[in-house]
């Protein structure tokens, strides 16, 4: 690749200084004249029918402007998981939500909303709303929910099975494959309900103007899809719904659609005033979407030489009260069970099951971490039974560049998984440390080393069952500076900084001369949103293509001005010159001003191409398990990730480091605990949830492996999500290496670890 000026450089984030100065405006920092504060009244019961609601006392409280219930809301059935409407066969969206329903299905289901002059008054008013509920029997366990006679959550949904996915995830002849196998290994794994824990409280601000146009300030990950959904709910043309994104204080999937937006819009409509609805942290823990707990039963057969001959899996996904993302999450999980490693005969069945638990939805990894926790432990166990090194077994079986990606059914354009495994193994001292027999350390504290691998995606283009694209416009000003208009959001990962680096590189302008818009659906073209590790790859591709066209236009005029053929011109660092004569060039501003006085602006737009490049990674954990107490200490993590070209290596490392913190919590401590009698979340705070602090973190070694992907912008692939996909698996495998015991339920808390050690007769007396 030619020498690059901006791509590959650690430029600071474009918004870092305003964040460091406390000047960045998040939704709840915005102020408008007459702003009202909205709050939601939520069901205290996990399953009930609302018999009646009396709002009269609340309405009389001074400072209350409006109280709304089901009768005031559009009678429109939708899903808050806005992008599920872009699913297509073999997948399909499940539309099962109303703004308010008189059948409530979890503790936290909204039944009414209040707008008042200040937050405290709104909270006081909630207490004055009198709701008569008729309690219904509730069900919290997926297997119980699937039995005949279980409480039914949704009309017409037999045995609470919202969806059964099987056809798309089956190929070959599993029965014949298992007959070929020399060994067959079978086990069941349970994953947990955990929480995104974005630091910013969830909020949105809505207002209507006198023409009836809705302006929505929403820190959603998918502003253009929220625009569309709000237009459908409120029966408005899309020109009458304008969604603008303020700064976003973290997302990790929780904002993959709508949360408070329909409620702030309804209250704004009823009151005629701007309304902010902001959730408390407690509401966030119990009332917004979590990761899906998935029970995975896995059976894999292999030959003595290490060939995997057949794989069968059953996944039971606890969707909670509403389906939201459950169909897509389960399908991603199903694909991830056979996407990294070759197997000709596969059958996966996925059950999406309603329970009266809190609603699950999108969380970083989206089915991937659940699948990895099962599959990667399973592979380790198989390797051991075959007498093969766990890394050699993986290297022997994984798909490679040129093979068909089972998630997208297009060829894999680059895969450096083997290099990730080798580099990671070296950094973790695998060869030396894995010599021991599991559980053989003397004394109660036992050390072990384990690994897990991951494969992810750069967006969902070409992915089975879902649409994906970005559009970007490049506008060159008469002084040679550049505006990028795009609907891409930056949830905090730095995607927009990387996009500016890509634009500057392609156009040959200075990085500081590129500005990128905040999303405003009135002016920015469509982008599906900031999800699936897609922004830098897909939006970056759209920007690069548009920038190429803008550059062509610039060079066309420059050729005339410099009296040289356009193909002999070079644009770099804000100047255009004839190849080999950089001192005799023109400033970008001179060319653009010349265009300006001739009545022309350089302007180009492009859609992202329908391509997808999978990133990979190998993670290693070294642990010490105290077999007296079950306490697990993480001594070191190594993450070797194939990210394609790292557009901004510092930001890429930061993404992986942040993901590892979430992966550690997922592995050992974090769990949204639901009381099995009342359906109440019993730990709705950061401290009770056991969020990891700076003092808790182990040393982390991040290794970037950078193959030049032919489809990515300057070779880049997605990096947003996948850093946590294999962490729990690597830790579980390390714990096995330490103790000789498999831990199959997340999180692997001290209590569970000690219990499993006791059951295996390996606890220290």
Asked if 201 touches another protein (CB under 8 A), the answer is yes
Per-residue string for binding with another protein, 599-628, x by CB under 8 A? ------------------------------
Q: Which of 97, 160, 198, 413 binds another protein (CB under 8 A)?
A: 198
Spatial separation of the C-alpha atoms in residues 554 and 478, rounded to whole Å: 11
Least distance in angstroms from the C-beta of 660 to another protein: 5
Report the residue number, 28 or 555, with the smaller CB distance to another protein: 28
Per-residue string for binding with another protein, 315-354, x by CB under 8 A? ----------------------------------------
Cβ neighbours around 727 below 10 Å, total: 31
Q: Which of 92, 164, 199, 760 binds another protein (CB under 8 A)?
A: 199
Least distance in angstroms from the C-beta of 347 to another protein: 37
Burial classification of residue 95, based on how many CB atoms lie within 10 Å of its CB (0-12 exposed, 13-18 middle, 19 or more buried): middle
Q: Give the Cα-Cα-Cα angle 484, 26, 43 (nearest 5 degrees).
A: 125
Task: Name the token pair of 324.
Answer: 């939201």
Strand order of the β-sheet with 64-68 is 64-68, 110-116, 36-42, 275-278, 203-208, 214-217, 241-244
Least distance in angstroms from the C-beta of 12 to another protein: 5
Query: Is the link from the previous residue into 647 a cis peptide, with omega within 30 of 0?
Result: no
Asked if 691 touches another protein (CB under 8 A), the answer is yes
Report the residue number, 338 or 689, with the smaller CB distance to another protein: 689
- CA dist 545 → 277, 410, 494, 569, 762 (Å): 39, 22, 21, 19, 60
**Which positions from 234 through 253 interact with another protein, judged by CB under 8 A?**
247-252
Cβ neighbours around 598 below 10 Å, total: 8
Q: Which residues pair with 216 in a beta bridge?
A: 206, 243
Q: Which of 258, 493, 674, 741 binds another protein (CB under 8 A)?
A: 493
Report the residue number, 459 or 665, with the smaller CB distance to another protein: 665
Asked if 694 touches another protein (CB under 8 A), the answer is yes
Q: Who contacts 671 (Cβ-Cβ below 8 Å, separation ≥6)?
A: 192, 193, 194, 683, 689, 746, 747, 749
Q: Which of 1, 21, 149, 155 binds another protein (CB under 8 A)?
A: 21
Spatial separation of the C-alpha atoms in residues 96 and 327, rounded to whole Å: 13
Per-residue string for binding with another protein, 553-572, x by CB under 8 A? --------------------
Q: Alpha-carbon dihedral of residues 325, 534, 643, 607, nearest 10 degrees?
A: 150
Least distance in angstroms from the C-beta of 10 to another protein: 7
Spatial separation of the C-alpha atoms in residues 622 and 738, rounded to whole Å: 9
Asked if 163 touches another protein (CB under 8 A), the answer is no
Least distance in angstroms from the C-beta of 691 to another protein: 6
Helices and strands counted in the chain (H then E): 20, 27
Spatial separation of the C-alpha atoms in residues 641 and 616, rounded to whole Å: 6
Q: Which helix (H) or strand (E) holds 570?
A: strand 569-572
Task: Name the token pair of 480.
Answer: 């040679």
Asked if 13 touches another protein (CB under 8 A), the answer is yes
Least distance in angstroms from the C-beta of 743 to another protein: 23
Asked if 427 touches another protein (CB under 8 A), the answer is no
Asked if 281 touches another protein (CB under 8 A), the answer is yes
Asked if 77 touches another protein (CB under 8 A), the answer is no
Separation of first and last alpha carbons in the chain: 61
Q: Which residues of 639-669 are buried (b: 16+ CB within 10 A; e: fewer)?
A: bbbbbbbbbbbebbbbbbebbbbbbbbbbbb
Asked if 512 touches another protein (CB under 8 A), the answer is no
**Which positions from 96 through 125 interact with another protein, judged by CB under 8 A?**
120
Q: Which stretch binds another protein (CB under 8 A): 76-84, 90-98, 195-203, 573-581?
A: 195-203
Strand order of the β-sheet with 575-578 is 569-572, 575-578, 586-587
Asked if 361 touches another protein (CB under 8 A), the answer is no
Q: Which of 26, 32, 76, 593 binds another protein (CB under 8 A)?
A: 26
Least distance in angstroms from the C-beta of 43 to another protein: 23
Least distance in angstroms from the C-beta of 734 to another protein: 19
Least distance in angstroms from the C-beta of 22 to another protein: 2
Asked if 661 touches another protein (CB under 8 A), the answer is yes
Asked if 641 touches another protein (CB under 8 A), the answer is no
Q: Which of 380, 505, 653, 670 binds another protein (CB under 8 A)?
A: 653
Phi, psi at 455, each rounded to 5° = -135, 140
Spatial separation of the C-alpha atoms in residues 376 and 150, rounded to whole Å: 34
Q: Which of 31, 51, 77, 179 binds another protein (CB under 8 A)?
A: 31
Asked if 400 touches another protein (CB under 8 A), the answer is no
Q: Point out which residues bind another protein (CB under 8 A).
A: 10, 12-13, 15-17, 19-26, 28-29, 31, 120, 196-201, 247-252, 280-281, 491-494, 650-651, 653-654, 656-662, 685-687, 691, 693-697, 700
């Amino acid at each position: 690749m030619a020498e690059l000026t901006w791509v590959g450089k650690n430029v600071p984030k474009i918004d870092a200084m305003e964040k460091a100065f406390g000047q960045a405006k998040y939704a709840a920092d915005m102020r408008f004249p007459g702003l009202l504060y909205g709050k939601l009244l939520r069901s205290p019961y996990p399953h009930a029918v609302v018999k009646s609601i009396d709002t009269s006392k609340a309405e009389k409280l001074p400072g209350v402007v409006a109280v709304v219930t089901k009768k005031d809301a559009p009678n429109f059935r939708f899903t808050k998981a806005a992008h599920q409407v872009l699913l297509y066969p073999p997948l399909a969206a499940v539309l099962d939500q109303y703004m308010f329903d008189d059948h409530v299905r979890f503790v936290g289901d909204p039944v009414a909303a209040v707008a008042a002059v200040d937050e405290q008054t709104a909270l006081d008013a909630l207490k004055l709303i009198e709701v008569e509920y008729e309690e219904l029997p509730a069900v919290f366990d997926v297997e119980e929910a699937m039995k005949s006679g279980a409480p039914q959550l949704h009309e017409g949904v037999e045995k609470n099975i919202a969806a059964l996915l099987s056809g798309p995830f089956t190929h070959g002849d599993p029965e014949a494959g298992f007959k070929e196998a020399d060994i067959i290994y079978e086990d069941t794994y349970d994953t947990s309900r955990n929480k995104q824990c974005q630091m910013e409280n969830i909020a949105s601000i809505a207002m209507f103007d006198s023409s009836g146009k809705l302006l929505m300030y929403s820190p959603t990950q998918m502003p253009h899809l929220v625009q569309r959904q709000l237009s459908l709910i409120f029966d408005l043309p899309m020109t009458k719904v304008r969604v603008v994104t303020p700064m976003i204080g973290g997302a990790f999937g929780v904002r993959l659609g709508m949360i408070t937006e329909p409620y702030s819009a309804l209250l704004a409509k009823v009151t005629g005033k701007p309304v902010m609805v902001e959730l408390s942290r407690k509401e966030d823990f119990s009332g917004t979407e979590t990761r899906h707990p998935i029970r995975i039963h896995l059976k894999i057969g292999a030959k003595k030489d290490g060939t995997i001959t057949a794989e069968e899996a059953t996944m039971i996904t606890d969707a909670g009260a509403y389906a939201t993302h459950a169909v897509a999450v389960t399908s991603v999980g199903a694909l991830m069970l056979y996407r990294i490693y070759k197997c000709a005969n596969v059958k996966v069945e996925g059950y999406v099951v309603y329970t009266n638990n809190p609603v699950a939805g999108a969380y970083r990894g989206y089915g991937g971490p659940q699948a990895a926790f099962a599959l990667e432990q399973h592979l380790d166990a198989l390797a051991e039974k075959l007498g093969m090194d766990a890394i050699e077994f993986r290297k022997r079986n994984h798909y490679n560049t040129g093979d068909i990606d089972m998630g997208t059914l297009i060829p894999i354009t680059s895969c450096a998984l083997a290099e990730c495994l080798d580099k990671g193994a070296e950094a973790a001292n695998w060869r030396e440390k894995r010599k021991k027999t599991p559980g053989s350390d003397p004394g109660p504290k036992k050390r072990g080393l384990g690994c897990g691998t991951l494969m992810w995606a750069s967006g969902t283009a070409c992915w089975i069952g879902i649409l994906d694209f970005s559009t970007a416009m490049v506008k060159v000003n008469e002084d040679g500076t550049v505006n990028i208009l795009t609907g891409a959001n930056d949830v905090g990962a730095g995607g927009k900084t990387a996009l500016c680096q890509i634009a500057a590189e392609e156009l040959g302008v200075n990085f500081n001369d590129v500005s990128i818009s905040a999303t405003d659906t009135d002016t920015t073209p469509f982008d599906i949103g900031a999800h699936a590790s897609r922004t830098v790859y897909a939006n970056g591709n759209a920007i690069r293509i548009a920038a190429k066209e803008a550059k062509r236009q610039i060079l066309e005029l420059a050729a005339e001005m410099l009296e040289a053929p356009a193909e002999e011109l070079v644009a770099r660092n804000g100047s255009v010159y004839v190849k080999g004569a950089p001192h005799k060039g023109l400033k970008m501003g001179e060319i653009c001003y010349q265009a300006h006085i001739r009545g022309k602006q350089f302007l180009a737009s492009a859609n992202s191409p329908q391509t997808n490049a999978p990133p990979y990674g190998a993670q290693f954990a070294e642990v010490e398990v105290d077999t007296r107490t079950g306490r697990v200490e993480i001594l070191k993590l190594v993450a070797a990730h194939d990210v394609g070209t790292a557009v901004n290596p510092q930001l890429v490392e930061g993404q992986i480091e942040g993901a590892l913190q979430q992966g550690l919590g997922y592995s050992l401590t974090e769990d949204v605990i639901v009381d099995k009698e009342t359906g109440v979340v019993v730990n709705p705070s950061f401290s009770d949830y056991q969020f990891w602090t700076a003092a808790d973190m182990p040393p982390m070694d991040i290794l970037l492996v950078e193959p030049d992907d032919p489809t990515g912008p300057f070779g880049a692939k997605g990096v947003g999500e996948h850093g946590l996909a294999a962490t729990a698996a690597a830790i579980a495998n390390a714990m096995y290496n330490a103790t000789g015991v498999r831990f199959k339920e997340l999180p692997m808390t001290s209590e569970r670890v000690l219990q499993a050690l006791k059951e295996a007769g390996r606890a220290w007396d």
